[in-house]
């Protein structure tokens, strides 16, 4: 313990936001009980909402947030489209959470490499896994490894400046057509970025290298391919309305695909969102039908098609087309929902770029149960279970939130309700005395984490380091009439943070 305090003292100058305020400064007496030490793994919306609710719900909680990136905010920074600045305003709220004296941020700390889950569990009363989904689902069809095929996540991270995708370099110059597999909001995002007027993108926080590549793009046609019909399109009306309203883009929809069945009508009666999406698509089909578009880009909605294989181009290593099988809707015997089934009819759709928007996927943690089919940690209202069965025992002090808890669904705000549920489970357990039993050895929390990182020579980035990155990005952005010019390499991020 004494060594840990010495480490804390030596780091004081650099770690001002991390220093624990004295008991009297927080309004506690000198004999106040040990704080509830909480570690949140992941600094995206789920992580920050959890920290916020934890600090508000428990006046004795100290919350440490760790993230493998030097920058906080997760998908708000690397996932939200650059032309959606209003969605990013939530970082102001998260920054206020980080400024709380009982909260700290440890960037550039990777779970499993720099600190193990078992080490965190020994150091903290509560560990909340909130690291989201950093991988992708696979189609498992022939040709998926051809050049020119990327996941939508990779493409989004590329244009948003995620340091892992800085060097993705998608080829946008040697094809006229791009195929986006999927019709959810992420699929619409990447299609919109490919088609949007570049002068409009130039005033966003899109990375300079991505803007340069898009300005030189030869892509004129983007195909959004869905297995089911327009009634089942997975996007929201807001996102759809935006892409349908793009300047100088012709929207192409096969009117035969808009014919609805009694089952479709029933779905729309039960879902206002589905009804609104269908209405927008129907209106777009009639609006664009008789218009004369010269030298304009095209957005094609392709319904009732599923990919069966990728066909190489003449050079043999790059994708040249996607083979699609026509589908029909059939009621699932178990759920009753309409699912797409193949009809045995095939067609090829030529393209030189494919973006797979078929779902993000979370990565498992060593020593922790993981549901591979759903891509989540088995849990009961955020309480981590020892097995995939709901009858599995609860892992004391271990919780999950966000996409790792429920799967990659919802919008940024969805994580608020998700975090509230998990925090309620934590507070309930603490009230019962489960998290701090009398026989439990003392947990050192923040001081213990500092000691672990010091022993392993891990140079972490505190929130003050992020503020240096933030300031430099904004200053660079001002010179280009942008909100910010993102720093996009690991080395530069770490260098600026430690200046």
| Mean pLDDT (whole number) for 447-469 | 96
Strand partners, 151: 356
Structure-token pair, residue 336: 């009753």
366 compared with 168, residue with greater pLDDT = 168
pLDDT at residue 23 greater than cutoff 80: no
85 DSSP assignment: G
pLDDT at residue 443 greater than cutoff 80: yes
| Mean pLDDT (whole number) for 112-119 | 94
| Mean pLDDT (whole number) for 72-88 | 95
- Tell me whether residue 239 is annotated as binding: yes
- Tell me whether residue 274 is annotated as binding: no
> Nearest Cα to 180, choosing from 158, 202, 151?
151
pLDDT at residue 22 greater than cutoff 70: no
pLDDT at residue 323 greater than cutoff 90: yes
- Tell me whether residue 47 is annotated as binding: no
When pLDDT is cut at 50, 70 and 90, the band that residue 291 belongs to is low
| pLDDT at res. 26 | 34
pLDDT at residue 129 greater than cutoff 80: yes
Q: Are 76 and 486 in contact (CB under 8 A)?
A: no
3-class SS letters over 262-312: HHHHHHHHHCHHHHHHHHHHHHHHHHHHCCCCCCCEEEEEECCEEEEEEEE
- Tell me whether residue 111 is annotated as binding: yes
- Tell me whether residue 224 is annotated as binding: no
Poorest-pLDDT segment among 33-42, 54-63, 239-248, 368-377: 368-377
- Tell me whether residue 137 is annotated as binding: no
- Tell me whether residue 46 is annotated as binding: yes
Strand partners, 318: 147
- Tell me whether residue 410 is annotated as binding: yes
When pLDDT is cut at 50, 70 and 90, the band that residue 27 belongs to is very low
pLDDT at residue 137 greater than cutoff 90: no
Taking the C-alpha atoms of residue 287 and residue 289, their distance in angstroms, rounded to an integer, is: 6
412 compared with 261, residue with greater pLDDT = 261
- Tell me whether residue 259 is annotated as binding: no
| pLDDT at res. 34 | 77
| Mean pLDDT (whole number) for 33-59 | 94
Taking the C-alpha atoms of residue 492 and residue 230, their distance in angstroms, rounded to an integer, is: 45
- Tell me whether residue 379 is annotated as binding: no
pLDDT at residue 25 greater than cutoff 80: no
pLDDT at residue 395 greater than cutoff 50: yes
pLDDT at residue 392 greater than cutoff 80: no
62 compared with 368, residue with greater pLDDT = 62
Taking the C-alpha atoms of residue 131 and residue 45, their distance in angstroms, rounded to an integer, is: 10
| Mean pLDDT (whole number) for 134-151 | 90
When pLDDT is cut at 50, 70 and 90, the band that residue 390 belongs to is low
Taking the C-alpha atoms of residue 493 and residue 499, their distance in angstroms, rounded to an integer, is: 10
391 compared with 187, residue with greater pLDDT = 187
pLDDT at residue 197 greater than cutoff 70: yes
- Tell me whether residue 19 is annotated as binding: no
| pLDDT at res. 117 | 93
Residue 20 CB neighbour total at 10 angstroms: 16
pLDDT at residue 15 greater than cutoff 50: no
423 compared with 391, residue with greater pLDDT = 423
pLDDT at residue 19 greater than cutoff 60: no
Average predicted confidence (pLDDT) for the chain = 89
14 compared with 108, residue with greater pLDDT = 108
Query: Which segment, 57-71, 289-303, 430-444, is predicted with the most confidence on average?
Result: 57-71
pLDDT per residue over 341-384, tens digit each? 999 999 999 999 999 998 877 777 877 888 887 888 899 999 99
| Mean pLDDT (whole number) for 431-453 | 86
| pLDDT at res. 361 | 73
- Tell me whether residue 184 is annotated as binding: yes
Poorest-pLDDT segment among 38-42, 169-173, 335-339, 462-466: 335-339
pLDDT at residue 438 greater than cutoff 90: no
| pLDDT at res. 9 | 43
| pLDDT at res. 334 | 82
Residues with Cβ within 8 Å of residue 51, at least 6 apart in sequence = 38, 40, 63, 65, 97, 103
Structure-token pair, residue 278: 């269908």
| pLDDT at res. 369 | 85
């Amino acid at each position: 313990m004494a060594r840990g305090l010495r480490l804390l003292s030596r780091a004081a100058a650099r770690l001002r936001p991390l220093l624990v305020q004295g008991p009297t400064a927080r309004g506690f007496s000198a004999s106040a009980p040990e704080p509830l030490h909480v570690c949140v793994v992941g600094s995206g919306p789920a992580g920050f909402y959890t920290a916020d609710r934890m600090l508000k719900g428990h006046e004795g909680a100290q919350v440490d947030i760790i993230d493998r990136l030097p920058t906080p905010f997760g998908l708000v920074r690397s996932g939200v489209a650059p032309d959606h600045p209003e969605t990013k305003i939530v970082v102001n709220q998260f920054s206020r959470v980080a400024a709380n004296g009982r909260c700290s941020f440890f960037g550039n700390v990777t779970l499993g490499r720099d600190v193990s889950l078992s080490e965190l569990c020994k150091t903290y009363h509560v560990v909340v896994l909130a690291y989201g989904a950093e991988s992708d689902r696979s189609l498992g069809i022939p040709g998926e490894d051809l050049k020119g095929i990327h996941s939508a996540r990779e493409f989004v991270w590329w244009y948003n400046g995620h340091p892992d995708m800085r060097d993705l370099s998608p080829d946008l110059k040697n094809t006229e057509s791009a195929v986006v597999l999927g019709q959810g909001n992420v699929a619409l995002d990447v299609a919109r970025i490919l088609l949007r007027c570049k002068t409009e993108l130039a005033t966003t926080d899109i990375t300079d290298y991505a803007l340069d590549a898009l300005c030189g793009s030869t892509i004129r046609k983007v195909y959004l391919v869905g297995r089911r019909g327009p009634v089942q399109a997975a996007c929201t009306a807001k996102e759809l309305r935006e892409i349908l309203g793009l300047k100088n883009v012709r929207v192409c929809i096969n009117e035969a695909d808009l014919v609805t069945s009694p089952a479709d009508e029933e779905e729309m009666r039960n879902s206002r969102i589905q009804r609104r999406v269908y209405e927008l698509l129907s209106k777009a089909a009639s609006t664009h039908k008789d218009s004369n578009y010269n030298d304009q880009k095209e957005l094609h909605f392709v319904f009732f098609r599923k990919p069966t294989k990728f066909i190489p181009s003449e050079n043999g290593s790059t994708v040249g087309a996607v083979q699609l099988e026509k589908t029909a809707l059939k009621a699932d015997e178990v759920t009753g929902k309409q699912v797409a089934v193949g009809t045995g009819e095939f067609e090829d759709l030529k393209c030189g770029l494919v973006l797979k928007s078929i779902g993000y996927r979370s990565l498992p943690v060593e020593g922790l149960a993981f549901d591979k089919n759903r891509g989540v940690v088995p849990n009961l209202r955020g309480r981590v279970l020892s097995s995939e069965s709901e009858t599995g025992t609860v892992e004391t002090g271990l919780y999950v939130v966000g996409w790792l808890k429920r799967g990659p669904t919802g919008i940024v705000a969805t994580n608020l309700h998700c975090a509230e549920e998990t925090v309620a489970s934590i507070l309930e357990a603490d009230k019962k005395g489960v998290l701090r039993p009398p026989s439990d050895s003392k947990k050192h929390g923040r001081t213990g984490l500092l000691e672990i990182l010091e022993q392993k020579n891990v140079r972490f980035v505190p929130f003050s380091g992020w503020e240096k990155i933030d300031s430099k990005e904004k200053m660079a952005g001002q010179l280009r009439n942008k909100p910010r010019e993102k720093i996009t390499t690991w080395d530069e991020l770490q260098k600026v943070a430690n200046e």
